[in-house]
Amino acid sequence: MEKTKIVAFLTQLNEQERKRAFLYFKRPYYTQKHPELFTLLKYVLENAERPDALNSVKVFTAVFGPDMQFNDLKLRHTASVLLQHAEAFWVSYHLETDELERSVRLMELYRQAKLVKHYKDVRQQAQNCLQKEPHRNAAYFLVKYRIYRNTDNFSNNRNDPEKQEYVCLADAALDRFYLLSKLKLACELYSLQMLVKTSQEIAGLDSALQLADNGAYLQEPVIALYYHALQTLLHPDTAQLHFEQLKQLFIEHFRLLNQTEAAQVYYLALNYCATRINKGEAKYWTEIFDLYQIGADQMLLLENGEMLPWNYKNIVTVALRLGKTDFARQFLYQYQPFLPEAHRKNALAFNLAKYHFACKHYAQALQKLQEVSYDEIFYSLDARLLLMKTYYELQEFDALEALIDSFRQFLNRTRQISRQRQTTYRNLLRFLRRVNRIAPGNRRQLSELVAKIEQTPYVAERNWLLEIIKRG
């Protein structure tokens, strides 16, 4: 029974929801009239972490007693009925905890029932809740529309000028809901198409953009945020001013979005910087570092309370590239506790090795690299790259030659990386071996090698290769 819908439903509830569900089903309607539903819920909640206890026979015995013969159909029916009641509880619980939505829904019901006094009281309650709402996203404008539309529909007096006013207020709120939703969907679609190009389009987007170009709509900070974010996706090569507007608006107004939306817009800005960096526009290293600092300070880089290891690595990489070693070291220790537990030791060791390498503490870098486990492809590749660079800087040329051979063998065996990425690593190994074998002072061969590296399209650590040749 552990794979049934009711078990999956109950086990995904958070602790507060489980407590409330237990109290909901503990009412006499369930404990006396339908005790099998309460007993089944109680048993599943108490044994959610014990798959062996969720065997169908054990569950049936717990619910119906040892004297009743096992009946799989009866158990399935009971589970199905419980799920229906549990879903009804879940909806009512979330409606109960959402004061604004509850007030608007009551407005609609009192309007239909023509209970004037009740309606006016709850309308004021809804308006008060809306004023306290911290977000100005599409959901906010939809609720605003519903409040104004309810107010308009409540009056049957077509000669009342206020009726026209509320029609126009509802229209303005609806426009903002529509425009925000359209811009947000467009951002989602075109960011996905950066990964997988398809022919899908957002219908009516040109009309929406024309509407957004009306200055009144761009006075809404969240509409302006999505508008400028979308422009960076549609016209990346000419969107510098849009990016600057996006960055400034985000710094000033990201709290007008809920946490999920703020993270989405934030990653659009990050991805734009990464795209420009890949185009060779060096100034965006500073821009992306600024964004990483904002994300770290405001916890925007956390997902379900955890920081993804590649975000941890990316921030350190950018900081070290800009020479901000003190920031990098502080960040490493400050945010290590937010990494998934399985990654903490490896991520800290690897990124500390990067830190020491950037500080030219090559012996310490080597020591930290010896603490890195190569079980994951991410560490297998990046740690080997850093180890090769460290061996070169320490002039451990025999160890470097052996590592080049073992790295090539690893690339021959693995099927976990793309052919293009394999090529970038193979070119690095080939060029690094040539650097290692050219006699010191042989400027002609070194110049020829520089030209070859610059002409080859895919080379890992190209800048470092050119730097060590320039030094040599």
The pLDDT value given to residue 157: 67
Distances (CA, A) of 123 to 50, 120, 152, 173, 244: 48, 5, 12, 17, 41
The Cα–Cα gap between 353 and 373 comes to 13
Which residues 6+ apart lie within 8 Å of 45 measured at CB?
Answer: 10, 18, 21, 22
| 471 has a pLDDT exceeding 90 | no
The Cα–Cα gap between 332 and 314 comes to 11
Domains of the chain, residue spans: 5-97
Compute the radius of gyration of the chain from its Cα atoms.
31
| 78 has a pLDDT exceeding 90 | yes
**pLDDT band (50, 70, 90) for residue 320:** very high
343-358 average pLDDT score: 94
Q: Minimal CA–CA distance to 102: which of 136, 142, 143, 137?
A: 143
Q: Minimal CA–CA distance to 144: which of 168, 172, 173?
A: 173
Residue-wise pLDDT for 369-378, tens only, equals 999 887 777 7
The pLDDT value given to residue 418: 82
411-438 average pLDDT score: 89
The Cα–Cα gap between 352 and 44 comes to 45
The Cα–Cα gap between 410 and 413 comes to 5
Residue-wise pLDDT for 197-250, tens only, equals 889 999 999 999 999 987 789 999 999 999 999 999 999 999 999 999 999 999
| 472 has a pLDDT exceeding 70 | no
Residue with tokens 């190009």: 197
Torsion, CA 268, CA 271, CA 273, CA 279, rounded to 10: -140
The pLDDT value given to residue 121: 95
21-33 average pLDDT score: 94
Residue-wise pLDDT for 127-181, tens only, equals 999 999 999 999 999 999 999 999 888 877 677 778 889 999 999 999 999 999 9
Distances (CA, A) of 431 to 68, 179, 294, 458: 77, 53, 39, 12
More confident residue, 416 or 328: 328
The pLDDT value given to residue 302: 87
| 255 has a pLDDT exceeding 80 | yes
**pLDDT band (50, 70, 90) for residue 332:** very high
**pLDDT band (50, 70, 90) for residue 279:** confident
Query: What is the 8-class DSSP label of residue 451?
Result: H
Cα angle value 199/205/211 (rounded, 5°):
170
Kindly report which listed range (102-111, 265-274, 286-295, 301-310) carries the lowest average pLDDT score: 301-310
The Cα–Cα gap between 236 and 432 comes to 35
391-409 average pLDDT score: 93
**pLDDT band (50, 70, 90) for residue 258:** very high
Average pLDDT in the chain: 92
The pLDDT value given to residue 96: 87
Q: Minimal CA–CA distance to 140: which of 99, 100, 96, 109?
A: 100
